[in-house]
Structure 1
Amino acid sequence: MNSIIFYIAMTSASTPFVIIVFLLFYFIINNKKYKNLLSMYYEQGFTLTPLYQFYVAMGFLGSFGMAYYFCRLKKNKKVIFSPENQESIVAFLNKINSDHTTWLNNYYLATLIALFIYSIFIMLSILKIILDTDIGKELCNLLQ
């Protein structure tokens, strides 16, 4: 049983890594659209809360948070630390050319998939730790 958990856990750890590498290249390809979207956002007089300003300053590593921000707002859903003028931001995002935001939907979806698969890895790692302890071994013996 431990070998099955090991292989599933390793697959669950390596798959998100491959997705993140893909997202790095995807971000590099779409970096100009990302910067144009941010500049159009600022030109409209909108501001970002400190969390999202931090994400913008982080570049690629913060792009996951910004994809969350723009994709959720475009669908008029709540975000963490939502802006005061959310309705006008939603209207702005829905009226701009979809070339600037379509790639973000794929980017955000791939990020969520990687996060979900990585959470499986974490749960399996915790299960492995529990099974390797004395209490876990006794529990396995009782179940057999």
Structure 2
Amino acid sequence: MNLSWTTKPFDALTLTELYALLQLRSEVFVVEQTCAFQDIDGQDQAAYHLLGHSEAGELVAYTRLFAAGISYPEASIGRVVVSPKARRYGLGRELLRQSIAVVEMLFGAQPIQIGAQLYLKEFYEGFGFHQHGEGYLEDGIPHIHMIRE
């Protein structure tokens, strides 16, 4: 599956793009993972939003990207999500490659921190991230902090 990638600050998102990204995040993080949590957390306005659209124009991959000092002391990637209907095409790997490249383009080469769901530890290690500190529960889901130097 070939995707077209777009990166925008919050103020440049169209209403349609904002609706689609919130819908995708809700579909996966709230409904699929059966996790009631405050997804709209006041940080979207400070983020760059990486949008991966299918050839049909549907948003199927998304992350939000932050400069150092907003979510963590380091630059960070969050809300990493691929639509359930677009999985098994390697889009998670492509999404993370794109996210790292855009962080480096926007903010320069520097460490990147993430808050990863524990079951994805090996996935992120494949991109040079390593666990930083102890595990923790976030909204009832085991997480770990990871850093890519």
Q: Which TM-score applies when normalising by structure 2?
A: 0.29
Structure of larger gyration radius:
1
For CA contacts below 8 A with separation 6 or more, give which structure has more relative contact order: 1
TM-score, length-normalised on structure 1? Answer: 0.30
